[in-house]
Amino acid sequence: MKRCGTRWKTAALLLTAALAIPGCRPAPPEHKEIVIGLTVPSLSHPFFVCIKKHIEDEARKLGVKVLATDAEDVAAKQMAIVEDFIAQGVDGVVMAPIGAEVLVPAVESLNRAGIPVATVDRKVAGGDVLVHVGADNVEGGRIAVRYIVEKLGGKGAVIELEGTPGASPAVDRKTGFEEVLAASQVRLLASQTAEFYRAKGQSVMENLLQVHHDFQALYAANDEMVLGALEALAARGVPPGQVVTVGYDVIPDAARAIEEGRLTASIEQFPGQQARKALGLLVAQIRDGKPPPAKEIYLTPLAIDKHNLDKAEVKD
């Protein structure tokens, strides 16, 4: 009985709070300010922190307001965030969905509410999305291997570190990498997962070094893993630059490592530009009714090494 009472009290409280929220909002200004809801999988991941920073910067330039909430990598939470955006009456939503399938209902809710939505980085599998701006992870994997093949002069052996088993960027980057590799003279010596973690990258590389000594290149599906693997190579006494090392994402630590000559290259897929472009197209639609030039826009990834380091996005 006591529990039952508490539950009612909680419900009443929530209801009061819900009713109070619209009253709390400031009165709309004369020219109604455009408000955009931003939701990314996790604000504890540097990649999405970077997307948020670029969105906020672009929003200032465009004169729109951004609401951002952390979904903590939980799909149900991201769904609830989108529902909150609808309740708050935002004018548009920029979303990097946690999962392609699970966020379809969220997009459909936005469609029913007549709120346009743009996706960045990852796509959703259904609903009506105004525009998707992303990078092609399969293409990124291909670019990495083409870079390696060129650096090795067409022949040699490479070790691959894969991302989290089953995660879509891990699967896509591996697919592109191994597809082009199979068509080249460069041999895949070993491929193991280090789950996108730096510490794992170090220990998996230490283990692989027990068996493999004759390889000329190392590819990791993100920079964290390659930075861990570089520690393992250094501890083994492999001089920097002897092995062609390629990471992915050009995080600040990796950019520094490229500058210092410890890391050969990293694949840049311009998360900042993706985010800015998505927001720009969304605002153009809301403000001027101008539809985007295409439903899906892909920025081409680029291999960044010390010769074109200035082309990398600043991420910290």
For 215, phi then psi, to 5°, come to -140, 150
Binding another protein (rule: CB under 8 A), the pick from 253, 258, 286, 304 is: 253
Binding another protein (rule: CB under 8 A), the pick from 94, 138, 204, 244 is: 204
Query: CB–CB of 98/74 below 8 Å?
Result: yes
Binding another protein (rule: CB under 8 A), the pick from 210, 214, 242, 288 is: 210
- Of the pair 210, 242, the CB lying nearest another protein is at 210
Binding another protein (rule: CB under 8 A), the pick from 3, 30, 211, 239 is: 211
Q: How far is the CB of 306 from another protein (least distance, A)?
A: 19
For residue 219, the tally of other CB atoms under 10 A from its CB is 30
Q: How far is the CB of 96 from another protein (least distance, A)?
A: 15
Return the residues of window 41-60 that contact another protein according to CB under 8 A.
43-46, 49
- Of the pair 102, 190, the CB lying nearest another protein is at 190
Binding another protein (rule: CB under 8 A), the pick from 198, 262, 276, 277 is: 198
User: Does position 214 bind another protein by CB under 8 A?
Assistant: no
| Exposed / middle / buried, residue 315 (Cβ in 10 Å: 0-12, 13-18, 19+) | buried
Binding another protein (rule: CB under 8 A), the pick from 67, 102, 104, 190 is: 190
Q: How far is the CB of 207 from another protein (least distance, A)?
A: 4
The set of residues, in sequence order, having a beta carbon less than 8 Å from that of 275 and lying 6+ positions away, is 51, 52, 54, 55, 58, 94, 120, 133
How far apart CA 164 and CA 135 sit, in angstroms, is 19
∠ at Cα 147 (145, 150), nearest 5°?
A: 105
How far apart CA 76 and CA 63 sit, in angstroms, is 31
Q: How far is the CB of 227 from another protein (least distance, A)?
A: 7
* SS3 category, 19: helix
Return the residues of window 80-119 that contact another protein according to CB under 8 A.
none
Tell me the DSSP string of 177-233. HHHHHHTSSEEEEEEEE-TT-HHHHHHHHHHHHHH----SEEEESSHHHHHHHHHHH
Report the interface residues with another protein, using CB under 8 A.
43-46, 49, 162, 165-166, 190-193, 197-199, 202-204, 206-208, 210-211, 224, 227-228, 231, 235, 252-253, 316
